Amino acid sequence: MNNFSKRTITGFSFIGIVIASVVIHPLVFAGLFLIVALLSLREFFNLVTTDQIKPLLIPTYFSVIFIYVSFWGWKYLFPEHPKYLSLNIIVLFLPFIIQLYRKSEKPFHNIAYTLLGVFYIVFPFILLGSFYFIIYPTEGISYGVLFGFFGIIWISDTGAYLVGSLIGKHRLFKRISPKKSWEGSIGGGIFAIGGAVLSWYLFGALLVWQWVILAIIILIVGTLGDLVESLLKRSLGVKDSGSILPGHGGLLDRFDNVFLSAPFVFVYLMII
């Protein structure tokens, strides 16, 4: 089986799992992406760990679980008391205290990589959960925006991959990602706009021009997120972040455009 076939099968399988989790219940979606967040964080820690740099593993995994549970618990168990979310501030400062009791040549490198993993990987996944409620906060859940967000990303990725593979000649950012082309990016943009119009037709929730702006944000920031992850791998001298997804590499490779686009889309949705 060639790489394209593996990529296609893996992609559709994972898309099916995500769609099912979104439709069944927000807590099912939360559980799935808690697992994804933990596995992605593990990939990141595996990449940056050396003989001298050792991020805090077990405490960070428990901290991530706590942060996730606090967010979804606040939404479902005590929505009138957002003050409990302030406990997450304490959790984020625990690595400084824990590091005092570990012998390490570079203690602040350990702290920095630990917090970078949480900030870069975990928070965007938490923000995805808010897409359920951000449009209709008083009228129950709405998965249209969440579907549209993922749909635009997947459609744009597919368009960029196909167009770039067929006619891509002019490199977009050769120093960091020699395979990405302007032709592929433009193709991805056209597909993204099409995905925005389709999302408006299928899900509503936003006006058509709002969907188009959302698609443009995803296209631009998602591409930059892809380049950031390529920069990370290049700086560490690795080709893929992992091998858990056949044809795609690791979870960091699959969600690289989500890590940056989710915060920008969250802010955009809050504004409109």
> What sign for the dihedral angle of Cα 158, 159, 165, 169?
negative
Whether 44 shows a pLDDT value over 90: the answer reads yes
So what's the pLDDT on residue 169? 77
pLDDT, the chain, mean: 83
| Identity at 19, one-letter amino acid code | I
Residue 171 per-residue DSSP state:
E
Whether 123 shows a pLDDT value over 50: the answer reads yes
pLDDT single digits (tens) 144-180: 888 889 999 989 988 888 888 888 777 877 777 777 7
Q: Which of 28-32, 75-79, 113-117 has the lowest mean pLDDT?
A: 75-79
> What sign for the dihedral angle of Cα 98, 99, 100, 102?
positive
So what's the pLDDT on residue 138? 47
Q: Which one is predicted more confidently, 174 or 2?
A: 174
Q: Distance between CA atoms of 150 and 236, rounded to whole angstroms?
A: 29
Q: Based on DSSP, count helices (H) and strands (E) in the chain, helices before strands.
A: 11, 2
* H-helix or E-strand spanning residue 201: helix 182-203
Cβ atoms of 55 and 45 closer than 8 Å: yes
| Identity at 4, one-letter amino acid code | F
CA neighbor of 75 nearest in space, from 134, 124, 22: 134
Global pTM value: 0.86
Q: Distance between CA atoms of 33 and 128, rounded to whole angstroms?
A: 9
So what's the pLDDT on residue 23? 82
